[in-house]
Chains A and B, each alone.
Chain A
Amino acid sequence: MATTPHDQDFQAARDFKRVAELLDELLLLPGQARATALTALGGDDARLRARLARALASIEREHGGLLGDRAADRYAIVCAVDDEPASSADPAPGSRIGAWRIDGVLGRGGMGVVYAAERADGSYRQEGALKVMRHAIDGALNRELFLRERQILAQLEHPGIARLIDGGVVPDGRPYLVMERIRGKPIPDWCEAHALSVADTLRTFLAVLDAVDVAHRNLIVHGDLKPSNILVTDEGQVKLLDFGVARLLESETADIGGAGLTPRYAAPEQLAGGTLTTATDIHALGLVLCKLLTGRLPEGRAAGESRNPHEITRPSALARMAASGRSDATQVWRRRARILAGDVDAIVLRAIAARPEQRYPTASALAQDIDNYLAGRPVNAVATSRTYRLRRFITRHRAGVGAGIVLLIAALIATAGLGHALLQSRAALAAAERANAVQSFVIDLFREADPAETLGHELTARELLDLGTKRAEQELGEQPQTQADLLTMLAELYNSLGEYDRAGTTINSALAARRAQGATSDPLGLANSLYIQSAILGQQSRYQECVDSAEKARTIVAAHARNDATRNFELLNSLSVCHYFLGNDAEAEKYGRQALAIASANPGVGAARMLDIEDNLGMLLLSHHDDEALPLLQSALEKRRQLLPPRHPDIATSLSNIGRAEIAQGDLLAAARHLREAFEIFLQVYNREYPGTLIAADGLEIALTQLGQLDQAGSLGSEQIQIVRRTLAENDSARGSYTNTFGELALAQGDYSEAEASFRHALQTWRAALGDRHPRIITGERNLADALRQRKRIDEAREHVQASLALARDLYGEDTPETAQGLRIRALIALDGDDFTAARTDLDRAVALSRSVYPKRHPLLAWALIARAQLARRQGHLDDAVRDLDEALSIRVERLGVDSALTVATREALAALRKPAD
């Protein structure tokens, strides 16, 4: 059409409305019907059709993601047909080329036209795809080269490569090739049609690499690898088309990297006019892989310009871009981005490195790394940068986030490496692989925590673990052992962060993963998960279940790893702790001492763990007022101070335990000091709600209450009880204890109704968590009796104190510390009922017991003496009263300080008694 530019513009503008109109019509059709409709549309106006084809391709690219290339290709064919009307030189259907009869056109590409052909020389029936090149060969030499290359290609036999069957030159000088005719889909379509996961896509891709590798080892380079040259048949067989054709053309036309090259998949050196090498193919393979995984090519590729590596967009980033593009598939793409981040990114980037020598040297090296990834082994492409990344992460977080996250990282690394040391030789290799998988997973987590990747928001330890758990559950479904190992580790970390509910659900998923793969396949892994479960159950105050899990684990360890000191130690420790909380002191002590023996005999258990058991044993002994307790705890603290930084949470634990022991010993001033220090460390390292913080605060509240420092105790106590009510379950025995402490505070403050309510709540909680015959019930009943007495409900009070005394006798026998306190309360109740005789019997016994069962000059002795002084005063025995008060005062001065409100009150009472005598 001869038109002036202006006319052309005018025509194009007029056509624009027509394009808009027809586009609307085409878009109403289902996707598959559009190409056909397009061909039928627009009469003979090829230009209009080409415009519509381009518009459709653009729209479908936006909608389709992985479909993009297919859409473009599909319409490109339509466009090409229109742009290049059939050449008169093209063979007509039915005509022959060499031994082949042309049956029709299969397609047209950059290099030429492809025909469906059938062998027609009568020798045998054979189908083929016959490709006539666009350009003729000139000169006998080039013709010779072409034929020789063809011979070489014909010898290339591999199930993944479409065979070259025949070839020759048509009379006008253009060469032709006949290839095995493949009925399949381009690999992106196939992957999409089968909705392949990342792992399955990679597995499919391995078949491509295998074929390429065989060709490379025969010194044959493809030179034009792209999605449309990689087909997958319905049977799932990968078939590479046009192998060596680019090279043939190269020899044919001396036009290096020229005719027919697909710039989108061309390597930089190819575009720069360099020679085709195997590295060129590796580059193209990397791009195809990226396309398969993300539906896109790295940024800057579309135009094929050369680029520097920093500008390349990582596959995970491409997937994220895809996520922002399509609302319906956003989640899928986000998830995929997370899977790709790290190892797969590194693999693709290495394959498409700008400089050939930076790429994988061979297709099999690329395949090997993909295999590494699939098997959970470290990937070579990231091997060098890994330690760097880890170190960088720790350096960055040491200052900013504080001890918590550094400890967490230390724990992650230690746990990830643990697998090596623990497992027997037979399973060692698999275990090492899993340990590696776990380790690389953890390192990926660090990278997720990288502020640069999280838009400046530093992940907390908890968020890091949440991320890890989610990923482990979503992405490791195909590797149940690794998944179970990892979930177990994460559960342990949640546990150490005090996130017991999350720890519980996580360990349950881990155990579910173990069950899914059969309990016997990895007994030690199962034992490990059970052990962690028992530790978590212990923290959740579910002591009987805790014992059950630990016993199950012990059975397995006894059968498979009898000599594994660490495991045995941990399990015995766990059992000891759970039995302690169940009130089975004898069992608790037995297991505790066994654990201590193992730790002493096996340095491998680690000094720190040995200290834990000393600590635990100390607390156990403490519960029966054993004098051995405090020295044991103090020795643990001293050793910890040598091993650990001064504000380490383990040191806080020690301090907290020592504070408790000192309360029991009656050394309240030291107790308050140590508990306050522990409280402050926990507060700094964790937060106010962390269980360790709650325990230390509880101890401090007790110490302050008993010291008579009620203002301080009061503000601490009301803060504490709010947190307890908000964060602890109704049936958590710890909640019972904290509520009891709050009741004791209320009692000391004279708020008897609050005290009664608290004690009733504590009792109820303890009964639910620990049963009716637990030592705590002794305390609860006695405290309730005390509150009721103050509220003048004498009969009820008497009932409860009797219950307390009866249980103490049942559990411990006569003459115990519990008895001494119970007798005092019962005596005061009797005194309120003017039953001096009963009061006298009980108080004499209470004072005597307090002298014998408690350490010397114990504050509880002062309480007993004061009670007896009250009786003496009521009975008119003023000298007796003065004597008892005098002793009580001297004890209080020593134990509570001269300023304590309790000391002051005693002094005043004593002064009041003496006055009338003067």
Chain B
Amino acid sequence: MRESDITLLLTAWSSGNHEARDELFGVLYRDLHRLAHRALADQPNEATLDTTSLVHELYLRLAADFQPLDQNRARFFILAATVMRRILIDRARARLAAKRGSGERALTLAGDSPQPATSAEAEEVLAVNDALDHLEQRDPRLVRMVELRWFAGFSVEETAQLLEVSPRTVKRDWHKARALLEDWLIEVAGRPG
């Protein structure tokens, strides 16, 4: 897909075309996935993905050709974070399929970015994904915030800017989200508290 099409899709999405969003999602998924794959291939010893860099890199590549409007830029990143979530979920599933039952390692939600390097972590990523699915209808902003912060690795300030709320709100939401995700992990996913 050409970059000018991305501009078109973003614009179409801005004016309420949801098919455009889905199409864009597909485009971003493909590109980000390729970037992630390459990033991991470049550094075979790094089990982690610097997701922010990936998202930014993609944005810069696309931005070189299309002229992003400000609201398009925010939309782009919010969507890219959702895409990133999807990529990491797929990655976690693949890991679990390949390595079920080996290499367990404790992981907490304290980190800012998920790194499904072990199957325990992969399970956690999947559990968080489930929890977010349950929250999607009730509190979509909270879910976007978790995607930006946790899956795409944006800072509090960046997240606040993209969601057009104050950093305070992001922090408050983040604490709430963590409490809820913890609850999910303990109560539903059965991880010992």
Contact = CB atoms under 8 A, between A and B. Distances in A.
A54 B183 contact: yes
B178 A58 contact: yes
B179 A58 contact: yes
A455 to B, nearest CB: 18
B187 A58 contact: no
A20 interface: yes
B168 interface: yes
A905 to B, nearest CB: 66
Contact of B179 (A12, A59, A327): A59
Contacts of A62: 175, 178
B178 A19 contact: no
B134 interface: yes
Contacts of A56: 179
Given A9-B188, A21-B138, A54-B193, A16 B131 contact: yes
Contacts of A51: 183, 187
Contact of B180 (A12, A19, A63): A19
A20 B137 CA distance: 11
Give the one of B135, B175, B178, B186 with max A CB within 10 A: B175
B171 interface: yes
Contacts of A121: none
B16 interface: no
B176 A16 contact: no
A13 interface: yes
Contacts of B139: 20, 24
A16 B188 contact: yes
A823 B16 CA distance: 94
A194 interface: no
Given A59-B176, A63-B175, A327-B168, A17 B183 contact: no
Contact of A27 (B176, B182, B190): B176
Contacts, number: 58
A55 B179 contact: yes
Interface in B155-170: 167-168
A27 B142 CA distance: 15
A59 B171 CA distance: 10
A870 to B, nearest CB: 75
Contact of A23 (B179, B186, B193): B179
A15 interface: yes
Given A19-B183, A54-B183, A327 B175 contact: no
Nearest to B109: A58
B25 interface: no
Given A21-B138, A54-B193, A327-B171, A16 B178 contact: no
Contacts of A21: 138
B134 A16 contact: yes
B13 interface: no
A12 B187 contact: yes
A58 B139 CA distance: 19
Interface string A621-657: 0000000000000000000000000000000000000
Interface string A25-65: 00100000000000000000000000100111011001100
Nearest to B137: A17
Given A9-B190, A12-B187, A55-B183, A17 B134 contact: yes
A15 B187 contact: yes
Contacts of A59: 175-176, 178-179
Contacts of B182: 54-55, 58
A19 B180 CA distance: 8
Contact of A20 (B130, B180, B186, B188): B180
Nearest to B182: A58
For the side of the interface on B, what is the size category? 20 to 34
A59 to B, nearest CB: 5
Contacts of B171: 327
A51 B188 CA distance: 11
A19 B183 CA distance: 9
Contact of A327 (B167, B180, B190): B167
B175 A16 contact: no
Contacts of B59: none
B16 to A, nearest CB: 28
B66 interface: no
A56 B186 CA distance: 15
A23 B178 CA distance: 12
A24 B168 CA distance: 16
Contacts of B175: 58-59, 62-63
A63 to B, nearest CB: 7
Interface string B110-143: 0000000000000000000011001100110000
Contact of B188 (A13, A23, A27): A13
Nearest to A57: B179
Nearest to B157: A327
A291 B54 CA distance: 39
B184 A16 contact: yes
B165 to A, nearest CB: 14
Given A51-B187, A59-B175, A327-B168, A23 B138 contact: no
A1 B131 CA distance: 24
Contacts of B184: 16
Contacts of B193: 54
B13 to A, nearest CB: 28
A23 B187 contact: no
A58 B179 CA distance: 6
A37 to B, nearest CB: 16
Nearest to A14: B134
A354 B171 CA distance: 36
B156 to A, nearest CB: 8
A17 B137 CA distance: 10
A16 B183 contact: yes
A609 to B, nearest CB: 55
Contacts of B190: 9
B193 to A, nearest CB: 7
Given A9-B190, A12-B188, A327-B168, A17 B179 contact: no
Nearest to B184: A16
Contacts of A13: 130, 134, 188
A689 B57 CA distance: 44
Nearest to B106: A303
B187 A16 contact: yes
A341 B162 CA distance: 37
21 contacts: A9-B190, A12-B187, A13-B130, A16-B134, A16-B183, A19-B183, A20-B180, A23-B176, A23-B180, A24-B176, A27-B176, A54-B182, A55-B179, A55-B182, A58-B179, A59-B176, A62-B175, A62-B178, A327-B167, A327-B168, A327-B171
Given A12-B188, A59-B178, 11 more contacts: A15-B187, A16-B131, A16-B184, A20-B180, A21-B138, A58-B175, A58-B178, A58-B179, A59-B176, A327-B168, A327-B171
Interface of B: 130-131, 134-135, 138-139, 167-168, 171, 175-176, 178-180, 182-184, 186-188, 190, 193
Interface of A: 9, 12-13, 15-17, 19-21, 23-24, 27, 51, 54-56, 58-59, 62-63, 327
The 10 lowest CB-CB distance pairs between A and B, nearest first, are: A55-B179, A62-B175, A58-B179, A12-B187, A12-B188, A59-B175, A59-B179, A13-B188, A51-B183, A55-B183
